[in-house]
Structure 1
């Protein structure tokens, strides 16, 4: 069925739709009457009508014959089709694909074989042709449950409590994109969860943002899961930052006013204006700093040259001129009456060879005198280090490697010199140790012991070198680490550490078994127990099994002479130093024990002797 409109160039074709019986598609080409079969359209279509080719026409005729024996809307299209109008009709690509879809045809065949008729589509009249979308394939709407009442639904169908805000930026309420620093692509900026919220609440109150305050005032922002973009939060809370207060130039001019007046009177006016001298900017600024130190007793070494120059320009204006002979040289300050040529003639670059040689000799003499002073100071410190003689018992014990013992080893002059060199102290104290922090004191004592160990070529073992070597050996057991530390001069060698350990064992064997400080013949309480660490190993080996004990003795005010003699006999005896690195345990005979029947105490009134007789 053809319908004509007032515009003779508008031709429309009657086809079947999924939601209406007739669809008219406009021919935009104006090349005569063309028709298109629109099988399911729910939106406007601007697709052009294409003419049939031989292959597409043959395919279309084949599908028409198949749809005639099937059901559905495609059957109605096939029954109303007339092959005589081939030259006057065309097709939409989507409609053609839908009509010739093999899967749809196979589904229709299966549906007829199983006796399941196709559900009818309600008739809905529309004025425009729509895009083809199969409504029959849409899943049915999910049934809403009563448990979902009173909850917010967000993307993904997840349920959220009414007391929790949706996962969106609370400030901009939109999706924000940013440039990725690595790839340069536009990516979506991630949301950040609120941790405290104090700044956000203060910023909202300052801005009087009632729309935001309604949601967060009186609420715990962490529990309601407030989220925002970092950039939005930074811009929103910027109002809380302390505003930048530009310093008034008049305030900088007030600083060091008495010293500045002295400089102007004695240097600028007398030497530059009256005497015609030319001074460098750095020298003039150093004079100003020295005047401040002498008159006002302030350290103005951080006073900038730019501020000083601006102050001179503000006071004298054009009367002073500043000339830089070369870009890498300091500025020259001189009176306005001098010309640039006169300045260049008196600059250090134009001095005579004799003057230059004289300056070189003076600088060399001054530098050599400084080096000579350093040499004499080093020789004095060398004598101090060589005279540091301390008697060290062998083998060293725990009381020989304490911090107090380290202070006794390092001389006072060496310690103070290191403190002054490193800036740990600026106090002059020739007789006692200067006061430094605990952290600095430990480091200075360590450096001082390294100097003593280096000066003696390892013959004087300081507490640091003994303790560090023994601690590293017990913690790691690695001779390589000990070799590295010994090569850098931080501890004794691995061989000396083994000698020290062996000497301690020999000292224990030579004693009577009573620990130092305890007395023989006094009532003693002993408490011993095993302390096993169950480390998880693959084979069960390598676990730690210790036996710890406690010895208790009551202290007595008056001790008998016998007790005193016994107490002195159990003290550790010093042994001669040797190069023994191993120890052979003395043989010990184990007494054999043979088991016997167990016997308990006899009951009361039972004479065991008479019974046996």
Structure 2
């Protein structure tokens, strides 16, 4: 008869209690199959650039990400990452930073040995040219700048360095070359140069040989020059501007046909630019509004008509009196506009009207233009005399 053994604490329990006791005493499921929640590349917490917050981890959820990491690790012969890839990253719930993933999987361009040698040769040539350019700059500072002390912006010496390198065949200057000009000068000339920054952050330098007396004299001369510049009356500036605009109007050669052409602009470009600036306050008014263009054309036409004493007739001064005559028929209104400089005289309006009629008649070769209700009529003759005469009167 077989012998049965049992646990004393379990004996006497019903089947349900025995099942729960076995479940409670069973060992927990091992978690070693999952990787720790840490970046598999940098293996440490990482902060977002320029911020105090940590960059979140991303879990590998796609097989293509596992394949990409695997190819990059094989190319780099990274044994540590290859050991982690012995298991599927998706199943093992591998984590990584997004920036670390991009940096690790970035493709390394495969270059041939000849290309590598060419790059090394170009780098060596650049370093040699840079060294020669700096030597020339140091010589200029020692022979020109230190004996003749003055205040210079650092950009002037940087531009001289660039020109020197360009003369040696280097057309593309590296940013590091421009960035370390101050450090090179300080290390080469030690305490001979002093660097200061103005309120706009622009670096200025002056030699140690520039004494306080020279600075006081220069500051005094500058203040005196500013006083003289401020003492210039604004009327003088306005007078010069008026004379320049008058000369621009008078010197233009405008050949106007007769009757005048109302499609041709007679306003000089200088006058138009002056009016654009006057109306908008913008010195570089590239795209003026329709209102500004309309007002500038009107004011400019008045200036041209007034300066030339009516010899040059802008389109405005021809079309405006014709419009007033057509709408009102008032000749006194046209004369008032002429006295104010906004239109030609009424006599000139009549001359232009007559010239337009003559021009239209010349264009018609033989037939005389008549109104639609007027037709030629044959007059009957009796004893050599007309029996009926039809007389038509035409008024303009």
Pick 1 or 2: higher relative contact order, CA cutoff 8 A, min separation 6.
2
Instruction: Normalising by structure 2, report the TM-score.
Output: 0.35
Instruction: Normalising by structure 1, report the TM-score.
Output: 0.25
Which has a greater percent of helix? 2
